[in-house]
Amino acid sequence: MLKRLLFATVHQLRLFLRRPAAMFFVIVMPVLLLVIFTAIFGNAEMAGQGITTAQLYTPTLAVFGAVLAAYTYLAIATATARDQGVLKRLRGTPLPPWIDIAGRIAAAGLIAIAAVVAVMACGMLLYSVKLLPEKLPAAILSLLVGISCFAALGMAVAALCRTAATAQAVANATILPVAFISDVFVRPDGRILPWIDRIADIFPLKHLSRAFSDGFKPLLAGNGFAFAGDATTYAIGQHLLVMALWGLGGAVIAFAFFRWETQRDGSRQ
């Protein structure tokens, strides 16, 4: 069974590598954004933050790349496969269908990690972004929980949207506005209104962004393995809880509403 899961994952990775638009969107775009943001804002140390622009943006854009893979790409690719009839055909084979879904999720997770590595490598090579070894385990754990959470939400979008076109619209329309209010694109000195900040607190992207990027802030105390802390402490527990709840909700919706066929397959012929 593990071998079949491995094949399903490799199959999905191969498909991803054959989709230049998806590769650009997921891997190249976050790197480009890092280069652009650093060019616009310069790479000097930000007032009161103790970090450079690149040290701030590299982890947040890495998170953005991970979310594009685990959420947006997974939702669109799965809905496209359903539109193409590939999922229906798969159900006409002895392969347990969950293996294909697990393969899709595993591949999306690996692509998400690749997106993170690409942005982090770019930040480290071009802008001297530093890893903080004592905080790295918590940051990595946050990333893994976040990827799982967004993968579940991606599957929920694929389940709720009947066509790939709808899934694409919904995935993009949900992630981009949330990204703007979730400390991904806007600098902390950007003075986000408190009520917008509170809305952002509801969604998992801000929690992922915080839990991961705080692991790259040397002024924060602690290694991150605490449930909650003040503004001077690195603590991922609360963020993980929010992400876990969203992930659980996404998984329940995906499980309840997922269809292997398009609606037109239900028409009378």
Residues that bind other proteins (CB under 8 A): 4, 7, 11, 14-15, 18-19, 81, 84-86, 88-96, 261, 265-269
The backbone torsions φ and ψ at residue 131, rounded to the nearest 5 degrees and listed phi first, read -90, 145
Reported as half-sphere exposure (CB side, CA atoms, 13 A), residue 213 has a value of 30
Q: How far is the CB of 84 from other proteins (least distance, A)?
A: 6
Output 93 or 190, the one with its CB closest to other proteins.
93
Q: How far is the CB of 103 from other proteins (least distance, A)?
A: 10
Q: How far is the CB of 153 from other proteins (least distance, A)?
A: 24
Other beta carbons less than 10 A from residue 47's beta carbon: 7
Q: How far is the CB of 265 from other proteins (least distance, A)?
A: 8
Burial per residue of 214-248, b for 16 or more beta-carbon CB atoms within 10 angstroms, e otherwise? bbbbeebebbbeeeebeeeebbbeebbebbbebbe
3-state DSSP call for residue 158? Answer: helix
- E-assigned strands of 179-266? 221-224, 233-235
All residues at 6 or more sequence positions from 240 whose CB lies less than 8 Å from its CB, including other chains: 141, 142, 145, 207, 211
Output 85 or 218, the one with its CB closest to other proteins.
85
Q: Which residues pair with 233 in a beta bridge?
A: 221
Output 48 or 266, the one with its CB closest to other proteins.
266
Please state, in angstroms and rounded to a whole number, the distance separating the CA atoms of residues 18 and 14.
6
Q: How far is the CB of 91 from other proteins (least distance, A)?
A: 7
Q: Which residues pair with 45 in a beta bridge?
A: 52
Please state, in angstroms and rounded to a whole number, the distance separating the CA atoms of residues 249 and 47.
39
Output 84 or 233, the one with its CB closest to other proteins.
84
Output 97 or 177, the one with its CB closest to other proteins.
97
CA distances from 80 to 200, 207, 248, 263 (A): 30, 29, 24, 13
Q: How far is the CB of 81 from other proteins (least distance, A)?
A: 8
Output 99 or 118, the one with its CB closest to other proteins.
99
Output 84 or 128, the one with its CB closest to other proteins.
84
Query: Closest by alpha carbon to 113, among 145, 154, 81, 66?
Result: 66
Q: How far is the CB of 5 from other proteins (least distance, A)?
A: 11
Output 201 or 265, the one with its CB closest to other proteins.
265
Q: How far is the CB of 93 from other proteins (least distance, A)?
A: 4
